[in-house]
A and B are shown apart, each in its own frame.
Chain A
Amino acid sequence: MTDARRAPGAVPRSGMLRLPARTRRVLSFVGVLVTLVTAWEAYKLAGRTGVALPVSPDNVTMPHVWDMAGELFSPARRGGEVLVVLLAKAALFTLREALVGFLIGAVVGFGLGVLFVRSTLAERAFMPYVVASQTVPILAIAPMVVIWGGRIDIPQWLSVSIISAYLTFFPVTINTLRGLRSPDPTAMELMRSYAASPGEVLWKLQVPAALPYLFTALKVSASASIIGAIIGELPAGFRDGLGRALLSFSSAFAVQSAKLYATVIFTALVGILLVGTVTLVERLLAPAHREAA
Chain B
Amino acid sequence: MSAPPVVAARSLGKIFAGGAGDAVEALREIDLEIDAGEFVSLIGPSGCGKSTLLRLIADLVAPTSGRLEVNGKDPHRARLDRDYGMVFQRATLLDWRTVARNVELPLEIMDAAGRQDRARHMLDLVQLGEFAGHYPWQLSGGMQQRVAIARALAFRPALLLMDEPFGALDEMTRELMQQELLRIWHETGTTVVFVTHSIPEAVFLSTTVVVMSSRPGRISDVIATGLSHPRNEDTRASQAYYDTITEVRTALRRHDGAAT
Q: Which residues of A contact B (CB under 8 A)?
A: 4-5, 7, 184, 186-187, 189-196, 200, 204-205, 208-209, 211, 286, 288-290
Q: How far is the CB of A19 from chain B (nearest CB, A)?
A: 26
Main SS of the interface on chain B? loop
Given contact pairs A186-B90, A187-B92, A289-B95, A193 touches B60 in the complex (Cβ within 8 A)? yes
Determine the chain B residues whose CB is within 8 A of the CB of A211 once the complex forms.
96
CB atoms of B109 and A196 under 8 A apart: yes
9 interchain pairs, CB-CB under 8 A: A184-B90, A189-B86, A193-B79, A194-B106, A196-B109, A200-B109, A204-B108, A289-B95, A290-B137
Which A-B residue pairs are the 9 nearest by beta carbons? A193-B86, A186-B92, A288-B96, A194-B109, A195-B80, A196-B109, A186-B88, A208-B96, A194-B106
Q: How far is the CA of A191 from the CA of B102 in the complex (A)?
A: 12
Q: How far is the CA of A189 from the CA of B81 in the complex (A)?
A: 16
Q: Is B94 an interface residue (CB 8 A)?
A: yes
Besides the known contacts A189-B88, A194-B109, A211-B96, 4 further A-B residue pairs in the complex with CB atoms under 8 A apart: A192-B79, A193-B86, A204-B108, A209-B94
Given contact pairs A186-B90, A205-B94, A5 touches B137 in the complex (Cβ within 8 A)? yes
Q: How far is the CA of A192 from the CA of B62 in the complex (A)?
A: 14
**Binary interface profile of B, 115-138, with partner A (CB < 8 Å = 1, else 0)?**
000000000000000000001011
CB atoms of A187 and B60 under 8 A apart: no
Given contact pairs A7-B138, A190-B88, A208 touches B94 in the complex (Cβ within 8 A)? yes
CB atoms of B92 and A290 under 8 A apart: no
Q: How far is the CB of B124 from chain A (nearest CB, A)?
A: 22
CB atoms of A193 and B92 under 8 A apart: no
Q: How far is the CB of B7 from chain A (nearest CB, A)?
A: 15
Q: Is B204 an interface residue (CB 8 A)?
A: no
Contacting A at CB under 8 A, from B132-163, are 135, 137-138
CB atoms of B110 and A193 under 8 A apart: no
Determine the chain A residues whose CB is within 8 A of the CB of B105 once the complex forms.
194, 204
Q: How far is the CA of A89 from the CA of B97 in the complex (A)?
A: 43
**Binary interface profile of B, 39-54, with partner A (CB < 8 Å = 1, else 0)?**
0000000000000000
Determine the chain A residues whose CB is within 8 A of the CB of B82 once the complex forms.
194-195
Determine the chain A residues whose CB is within 8 A of the CB of B100 once the complex forms.
none
Q: Which residues of B contact A (CB under 8 A)?
A: 58, 60, 79-82, 84-86, 88, 90, 92, 94-98, 105-106, 108-110, 135, 137-138
Determine the chain B residues whose CB is within 8 A of the CB of A190 once the complex forms.
86, 88, 92
CB atoms of A193 and B94 under 8 A apart: no
Q: How far is the CB of B219 from chain A (nearest CB, A)?
A: 24
Determine the chain B residues whose CB is within 8 A of the CB of A200 once the complex forms.
109
Determine the chain A residues whose CB is within 8 A of the CB of B81 once the complex forms.
195
Determine the chain A residues whose CB is within 8 A of the CB of B90 once the complex forms.
184, 186
CB atoms of A193 and B84 under 8 A apart: yes
Determine the chain B residues whose CB is within 8 A of the CB of A191 once the complex forms.
109
Q: How far is the CA of A18 from the CA of B85 in the complex (A)?
A: 48
Q: How far is the CB of B208 from chain A (nearest CB, A)?
A: 23
Determine the chain A residues whose CB is within 8 A of the CB of B108 once the complex forms.
204
Determine the chain A residues whose CB is within 8 A of the CB of B94 once the complex forms.
187, 205, 208-209
Determine the chain A residues whose CB is within 8 A of the CB of B92 once the complex forms.
184, 186-187, 190
Q: How far is the CB of A187 from chain B (nearest CB, A)?
A: 5
Q: How far is the CB of A234 from chain B (nearest CB, A)?
A: 43
Determine the chain B residues whose CB is within 8 A of the CB of A184 once the complex forms.
90, 92
Determine the chain B residues whose CB is within 8 A of the CB of A290 once the complex forms.
95, 137
Q: How far is the CB of B62 from chain A (nearest CB, A)?
A: 13
CB atoms of B58 and A193 under 8 A apart: yes
Q: How far is the CA of A211 from the CA of B81 in the complex (A)?
A: 31
Q: How far is the CA of A211 from the CA of B94 in the complex (A)?
A: 13
Q: How far is the CA of A209 from the CA of B93 in the complex (A)?
A: 12
Determine the chain B residues whose CB is within 8 A of the CB of A195 once the complex forms.
79-82, 109
